[in-house]
Amino acid sequence: MNIYVGNLSYKVDEADLKQLFEEYGEVSSVNLISDKYTGQSKGFGFVVMDNKEEALKAIQELNGREIDSREIKVNEARPKPNNFFRK
């Protein structure tokens, strides 16, 4: 399951995010989104967990949790629309 994680502190890195989610099960991948020009985090990312039950428990437990003085948002990632830039 692909999980969206938002409102992250700019100090949080992929290793921090992986460690946080590993409390709930196996993490397949972590992708923290950063600005392509500056390399600075944009404050959100995605975590992939293959076990759906573990992923749902992580979402339930972590949504609203305070990390680095910020209340993070955690939910199932929505698929990217195919026609995002089409008219």
The CA distances from residue 67 to 5, 31, 50, 57, 79, in Å, are 12, 18, 24, 18, 26
Domains of the chain in start order, with CATH, are: 2-69 (3.30.70.330)
11-67 pLDDT, tens digit per residue, is: 999 999 999 999 999 999 999 999 999 999 999 999 999 999 999 999 999 999 999
pLDDT for 8 beyond 60: yes
Cα gap 14→37, rounded to integer Å: 19
pLDDT for the residue 81: 72
- 74 with 63: CB under 8 angstroms? yes
pLDDT for the residue 14: 95
Q: Is the dihedral of CA 10, 16, 18, 24 positive or negative?
A: negative
